[in-house]
Structure 1
Amino acid sequence: MKHLIGGISSAGRALPEINGQAFSVARSHGPWLWGNDGERYLDTAMGFGATMLGHAHPAVVDAICRAASNGLMPSFAHGLEEQAAASLASFTGPLSQVVFVNTGSEAVHLACRVARAATGRQQVAKFAAGYDGWFDAVAFGNAGSAAAAMAGPRPQQNGMWLLRYNDFDDAERLFQDCPELAAVVVEPVLANAGCVAPAPGYLKHLCEVAHRHGALVILDEVLMGFRLQAGLSGHLLGADADIATVGKAIGSGMPVAAVVGKPEVMAVLTDGRANRAGTYNGAPPACAAVIATLEQLRHQDYPALLAAGDATRARIAQAFAEHGQSVCSSGYGSVFTFWQGSVVPQTYQQAAACADQGWTERLHAALRGQQVLSMPFAFGRAYLTFAHGAAELERLVEGYRAAALSLA
């Protein structure tokens, strides 16, 4: 009898068996994974975006080990915590106050608590098909759920309301339905619904509407933070947020996340209006990982990565076309989703209409045969990092070309 439920502690990490063989990872480094089958695989899942530097970056691993050697949990304040906070705040503009937690789900939970305390309101809105963590309230309306389709009256549950992404008018209607919202939580890119990008001016419009009605804006940057630039993707795309949550890329795979916010909003955490706690929040190894990671990202060439990624996904689409198949991609050069057809989804409704789990699983199996690992979910993503050099990107294109041939 196996004791680990489902063979994995997070359901999203399970991969399908192929030819009756289960897959597990023996080790990872750079853009590569080594499986229990002895093969080396080019990775495009990259810890679901948990690194921009590649697996086990030497500078980050060294910093974590040095911090751990001085003690994992000192109970009280330590110097690395403020150093990590100052480093993070140097990338987040007016969101200059920082609280560290361990996971993105915790960060969103705390951000909502801050917003409720700051506004005196209790209701919160999130986007249909957006993924903002696995806690009960924000797990409402995830991609694939009945609520995400928004087929009838505006869905709401336990104080959480849904609205349509990229629908300018629905942002106005939201406040007619619920005028006393504390905050709107928004992924700058609807990444977990297949990398649906914001329409020009949409994030700016959303923030203006929310602020006009006295609500705060929470940017959920757990996935997109530090993926399009060294900082928040929402800032790059026009958002004026009051609070943001970050994680994944800031720690290169260490369990660390953070809430960053404007000083006047985050004051509720120091004046007693909102509480925070967590034994492992801001632990020395996590803070060391943040400091080392951000120092590396500060000097990386984001425009070059995005350009190389855009060229790569265009070449992959061309490889499918050469075998008589129409494929397009949504997203950006460092994170994107492939779809059958030639029309890139602009909304969740469009993405849901062209999502094909069977095709995605067949593609995943074909890529596995080429020693390329992809996410086997219809709304999954491919992540490219600074560890994916020219040789790895060429290998990726060839792997997809061979997969396209096998699917033709």
Structure 2
Amino acid sequence: MQHLVGGISSAGRTVPDLNGRRFLVSKAQGPYVWDDQGRRYVDTALGFGATFLGHTDPEVAQAIHQAIDKGSMPAYAHALEEEAAASLASHTRNLAKVVFLNSGSEAVHLACRAARAVTGRRKIVKMAAGYDGWFDDVAFGNAGSHEAAMSSNERPSKDDTLLLRFNDREDADLLFAECTDIAAIILEPMMANAGCILAEAGYLQYVASLARKHGALVIMDEVLMGFRLHAGLASHLLGVEPDMATVGKAIGNGVAVAALLCSPEFATAFDDNRVNRAGTYNGNPLACAAVKAAMSVVDTVDYPAILQAGNQLRERAVGAFASEGISICTSGYGTVFTVWRGNKEPTNYREAIAISDPGFTSRLHVELRRNGVMSMHSLYGRHYVSARHDEHALALCAEAFAGTARQFAT
């Protein structure tokens, strides 16, 4: 790679060479990817969760082709933009106002800007080890950083960003007692980038209620989890009513698009110019076509069946390793989960650090790959199951876990 910096444009997509060869995708379709040698793999990375409907969904692809034929980038308003917004908003209850952007990072950044404008405050709180984009302010405290561990009594902060321990109600109480300048708190339905750590029962509702009691807004970052548990926001399914939410990935099924969702009340901050928004590609026809089509397709998805199938795959993976005398466990949901060495999944980031095993994680990726499954290569990596992972693809995954377990045992 003579010209591409680092050989890839997003460092998180890097996977190791195998047998002296670099992994290059030549094609992706449904639940599969093919390398440049023509070998097919079941894909459990799925564009880091973006292609929930499977790679190259026919309805989404057709809508994109039609949009291209009409012009990919006008400088003006087009009807498809409102149609896409309406189709998205029909799934998100009171968050009926939409601003389209190009990435989840941009959506979170705009949500923070809006919260500051509405409240007149400066501080933004995020979960320690949570991932809310790669912009400097919210990249502080990402999983793997020193700050994320929160190992001292002093609360980590950088400029206007503060960290909060996930699943720790006492820390939330302390946070709002010690700071009165909080504009918003960013919550995730699940700490995906820290290893699919689930929120304890009532935790999200507790923190959301506490924030509102102290005059702060609640932003749910659903760029990853939106439309993954049902045809809408995971926060609504989990009993949380946010003031704003950010979505991406699944809403465009692999097309670069994200959105900020808010209620009509908060949309006035954009109407009266308290909040600036701009972006050449925001709401472009290709992205809007993908969103409108994807929203139509998700309404046909049998979510309970996918979640059940994914959970069965998790059980088969654990069973395969157990049959070789090796203990593993999983955390998350049927459509997105993390595999851990040991028999107890973490309930917070401190536990995740304690049980994380880089050698196990790296070898798991390599051996699954040898057995025909592509996965994320990351310490807290995730395995995704799409709406197109049929019985055959899931059986291949289970067989790959079984083969991997045997190789671990030798």
Which AA in structure 1 matches 2:217?
L
C-alpha separation in 2, matches of 1:170 and 1:56: 44
Q: Is 1:271–2:272 an aligned residue pair?
A: yes
Q: Alpha-carbon deviation of 1:24?
A: 0.8
Q: Match for residue 94 of structure 1?
A: 94
Q: Match for residue 141 of structure 2?
A: 141
Q: Output aligned runs, 1:285-324, within 5 Å.
A: 285-324=286-325
Q: Alpha-carbon deviation of 1:376?
A: 1.4
Report the secondary structure of 2:33's partner residue.
Answer: strand
Q: Match for residue 121 of structure 1?
A: 121
Cα-to-partner distance string for 1:327-362 (whole Å, 9 max, x where unaligned): 100000000000011111100111111111111111
Q: Match for residue 404 of structure 2?
A: 403
Q: Match for residue 363 of structure 2?
A: 362
Q: Output aligned runs, 1:149-164, within 5 Å.
A: 149-152=149-152, 153-164=154-165
Q: Alpha-carbon deviation of 1:204?
A: 0.6
Q: Alpha-carbon deviation of 1:37?
A: 2.4
C-alpha separation in 2, matches of 1:59 and 1:264: 34
Which AA in structure 1 matches 2:247?
V
Which AA in structure 2 matches 1:19?
N
C-alpha separation in 2, matches of 1:161 and 1:265: 23
Which runs of 5 or more structure 2 residues have no equivalent in the other structure?
A: none
Q: Output aligned runs, 1:227-242, within 5 Å.
A: 227-242=228-243
Cα-to-partner distance string for 1:100-124 (whole Å, 9 max, x where unaligned): 0000000000000010011010110
Report the secondary structure of 2:144's partner residue.
Answer: coil
Report the secondary structure of 1:289's partner residue.
Answer: helix
Cα-to-partner distance string for 1:144-164 (whole Å, 9 max, x where unaligned): 100000012000001000000
Report the secondary structure of 2:260's partner residue.
Answer: strand
C-alpha separation in 1, matches of 2:363 and 2:225: 27
**Higher mean displacement: 34-43 or 322-331:** 34-43
Q: Alpha-carbon deviation of 1:85?
A: 0.4
C-alpha separation in 1, matches of 2:179 and 2:36: 52
Q: Alpha-carbon deviation of 1:188?
A: 1.0
Cα-to-partner distance string for 1:282-319 (whole Å, 9 max, x where unaligned): 00010000000010001211011101111110111000
Which AA in structure 2 matches 1:346?
T
Q: Match for residue 258 of structure 1?
A: 259
Q: Is 1:200–2:204 an aligned residue pair?
A: no
C-alpha separation in 2, matches of 1:299 and 1:228: 14
Q: Is 1:33–2:11 an aligned residue pair?
A: no
Contact 1:114–1:266 (Cα < 8 Å) also in 2:
no
Q: Alpha-carbon deviation of 1:266?
A: 2.1
C-alpha separation in 2, matches of 1:28 and 1:380: 20
Which AA in structure 2 matches 1:356?
D
Contact 2:220–2:235 (Cα < 8 Å) also in 1:
yes
Which AA in structure 2 matches 1:400?
F
C-alpha separation in 1, matches of 2:357 and 2:378: 9
Contact 1:23–1:37 (Cα < 8 Å) also in 2:
no
C-alpha separation in 2, matches of 1:204 and 1:266: 23
Contact 2:365–2:376 (Cα < 8 Å) also in 1:
yes
C-alpha separation in 2, matches of 1:290 and 1:3: 33
Q: Match for residue 210 of structure 1?
A: 211
Cα-to-partner distance string for 1:25-69 (whole Å, 9 max, x where unaligned): 001000000101221111000000002110001111010010011
Contact 2:42–2:397 (Cα < 8 Å) also in 1:
yes
Report the secondary structure of 2:136's partner residue.
Answer: coil
Q: Alpha-carbon deviation of 1:237?
A: 1.1
Q: Is 1:19–2:19 an aligned residue pair?
A: yes
Contact 2:31–2:43 (Cα < 8 Å) also in 1:
yes
Q: Alpha-carbon deviation of 1:186?
A: 1.1
C-alpha separation in 1, matches of 2:407 and 2:36: 25
Contact 1:101–1:107 (Cα < 8 Å) also in 2:
yes
> RMSD across aligned C-alpha pairs, in angstroms?
0.8
C-alpha separation in 2, matches of 1:262 and 1:216: 12
Which AA in structure 1 matches 2:298?
L
Contact 2:14–2:377 (Cα < 8 Å) also in 1:
no
C-alpha separation in 2, matches of 1:62 and 1:223: 24
Which AA in structure 2 matches 1:230?
A
Q: Output aligned runs, 1:44-59, within 5 Å.
A: 44-59=44-59
C-alpha separation in 2, matches of 1:376 and 1:283: 32
Which AA in structure 2 matches 1:365?
V
Normalization by structure 1: what TM-score?
0.99
Report the secondary structure of 2:277's partner residue.
Answer: coil
Contact 2:25–2:34 (Cα < 8 Å) also in 1:
yes
Report the secondary structure of 1:288's partner residue.
Answer: helix
Contact 1:117–1:268 (Cα < 8 Å) also in 2:
yes
Matched residues, percent identical? 54
Normalization by structure 2: what TM-score?
0.99
Q: Match for residue 173 of structure 1?
A: 174
Which runs of 5 or more structure 1 residues have no equivalent in the other structure?
A: none
Q: Alpha-carbon deviation of 1:177?
A: 2.3
C-alpha separation in 2, matches of 1:209 and 1:266: 23
Cα-to-partner distance string for 1:193-247 (whole Å, 9 max, x where unaligned): 0000010011110110000000000000000000001000111112121000000
Q: Alpha-carbon deviation of 1:171?
A: 1.1
Report the secondary structure of 2:197's partner residue.
Answer: coil
